[in-house]
Structure 1
């Protein structure tokens, strides 16, 4: 689960970039959650074994 304060900050940034449309709080909250979850998933995948540079040790 992503910290609520991080979601809040991202949602606010997205909302501001789009010109602060009224009545769209839920949309930007969900968008921020989706973006942050996708970033966390990519990070977890990037951190998976083998570590960068380690794969070549096992190609022999």
Structure 2
């Protein structure tokens, strides 16, 4: 695992935890080091296979 992949994995794990709360996705993106909500959504969907909104609805 490269350092970039490790960092992305840590950010997605942190975002996954916060998505289970009522915190807005834009704030989650900022809190976990993503440039904006669309960046979080793009990376999250690539790794998890679902958008953050769909992930929130499923949990």
**Higher relative contact order (CA closer than 8 Å, sequence separation 6+):** 1
Greater C-alpha Rg = 1
* TM-score normalized with structure 1 length: 0.33
**TM-score, scaled to structure 2:** 0.33
